Amino acid sequence: MRNPKWHRDEIILALDLYFRTKPGNISAKNPEVVKLSKILNKLPIHDVFVVNNEFRNPNGVSLKMSNFLAIDPGYPGKGMVSYSKLDAEVFEEFVDSKELLHKLALKIRNAVGNSNLLIQLSKIEDDIEAGYKTKEGSILYKLHKYRERNSAIVKKKKNKYFRENGKLECEVCGFNFNEIYGDLGNGYIECHHKIALSQLDVEAITELDDLALVCANCHRMLHRNMSFMDIRDLKLIVEGTK
Ligand SMILES: [Zn+2]
Ligand SMILES: [Zn+2]
């Protein structure tokens, strides 16, 4: 059985390890490679549970790292040229921002290390088909969604906003579900977590001020870009001033 293609999150983790490893140490016996192989086997990414023991085994991980070696202009003629387009894209994207890459990789590793959280995240569907792309990758995007769906804090946020404003409306465009849809829209609004995942601790507690109330359309638009969008920037677009 062929192993599934490497996912962006997996490439982020492998590339981060590549940048922290000397070319001579790229090997299936390197303990860091073995460790990453275990982490990749826990990531809730591939639909089919791959039951063969070749899935992202240390050999596969070191091969992927050799692919990066072939892409890396610092080592001409080295490495395995059988890399994918996505490998090269992610390499280009992060070659000059290794710190951000490491930050993201650490967050993904932290999420994988928290087995309760991992179970919650695996229940959240991937929206990539819906046109969502994220710099942070799928696991951290799911973490974002998990946070904004925490029903206790969402309820508190909505209650607070209602007490202060007497209505629920989109903080970006002012859309009010109750006004447009009548009783059907009563009490409906979505919550968006405003802190970029690259800035957020995996274990951090969500505060009311971290959340913004937004309509479904604005929420989608906030997530449409690769880079995290501030709600004030979307507001400027909606108001036609940007
Ligand atoms: Zn809106
Ligand atoms: Zn959101």
pLDDT of residue 141: 86
pLDDT of residue 1: 62
Taking the centre of ligand 1 as the mean of its atom positions, its distance from the CA of residue 116, in whole angstroms, is 33
Which pair of structure tokens corresponds to residue 28? 């299936």
Residues of the chain with pLDDT under 50: none
Taking the centre of ligand 2 as the mean of its atom positions, its distance from the CA of residue 138, in whole angstroms, is 13
pTM: 0.84
At position 98, the amino acid (one-letter code) is K
Taking the centre of ligand 1 as the mean of its atom positions, its distance from the CA of residue 15, in whole angstroms, is 37
- Alpha carbons within 13 A on the beta-carbon side of 158: 19
Q: What are phi and psi of 85, to 5 degrees?
A: -60, -40
First to last CA, the chain: 51
pLDDT of residue 38: 94
The closest ligand to the CA of 229 turns out to be 2
Name the CA radius of gyration of the chain, rounded. Answer: 21
Cα separation values, 57 from 48, 84, 137, 175, 207, Å: 17, 18, 21, 50, 40
pLDDT of residue 242: 66
Taking the centre of ligand 2 as the mean of its atom positions, its distance from the CA of residue 220, in whole angstroms, is 8
Taking the centre of ligand 1 as the mean of its atom positions, its distance from the CA of residue 212, in whole angstroms, is 11
Taking the centre of ligand 2 as the mean of its atom positions, its distance from the CA of residue 219, in whole angstroms, is 6
Taking the centre of ligand 1 as the mean of its atom positions, its distance from the CA of residue 234, in whole angstroms, is 9
> Where in the chain are the domains?
8-113, 145-238
The closest ligand to the CA of 143 turns out to be 2
